[in-house]
Amino acid sequence: MATINTPQARYSTGAIILHWLIAIAVIVNWRLAEAAEHLEGPAAAAYMNPHKALGITVLVLTAIRIAWRLMNPPPPMDPNYATWERMLAKTVHAIFYILLISIPLLGWIATSSFGRGIDMFGVFELFALPVANDPEAGKWVIGIHKALWTPMMILIILHILGALKHQFIDKNGELGRMIPGFGKR
């Protein structure tokens, strides 16, 4: 049984790498979209093209992360966590996965609705999905895509606050489970 000041088992190296790659990609992608928000034409495309490619990268990395998690179960939670903390953690993670799949997928559907594929960083073009060429539907899907960023940001904040609470208030070494070199193992 875990006790205060005893670090919990760490996540696997693969889980840690995927976690941080996805986290960084999501933050960079959010900033790219924000930068393009009030631009038009080529200036907007300069931000939106990498935004779309990075979104597909997040989708692929999330699929890999889910497969990794199925093959490499996460370490157990601290047994001292309250039932509500366990439920909240599981719910936040489940919703994260749903959003990390649905947000980029909706972006791909929206782009496809305009009859376009996605330029993957100038290396190749990802095909358009087989959806109707319907710009009005594309605009509607983009609206949903954008609206899902609010719950994503709320989850990111909850996730960070939860980790900080466990690390600095509960003093259970939680951050050392996911941040390489943080705290004692």
147-166 pLDDT, tens digit per residue, is 999 999 999 999 999 999 98
Q: What is the pTM of this model?
A: 0.90
Q: Which domain holds residue 125?
A: 13-177
Q: Are 165 and 172 in contact (CB under 8 A)?
A: no
Asked if residue 184 is part of any domain, the answer here is: no
Band of the pLDDT at 3, cuts 50, 70, 90? very low
Mean pLDDT of the chain: 92
Instruction: Tell me if residue 119 falls in helix, strand or coil.
Output: strand
Phi/psi at 15 (nearest 5 deg)? -65, -40
Nearest residue to 92 (alpha-carbon basis) of 142, 155, 141: 155
pLDDT value at residue 180: 78
pLDDT of residue 6: 44
Q: Is residue 39 included in any domain, yes or no?
A: yes
Using CA atoms of 102, 106, 108, 111 in order, give the dihedral in degrees to the nearest 10: -170
Task: Please report whether residue 138 resides in a domain.
Answer: yes
- Residue 19 token pair: 């976690």
Does residue 8 lie in a domain region?
Answer: no
Contact 173, 167 (CB under 8 A): yes
Residue 183 within any structural domain of the chain: no
Number of domains in the chain: 1
**Domain contains 156:** yes
Domain membership of residue 5 (yes or no) is no
Which percentage of the chain shows pLDDT scores above 90?
82
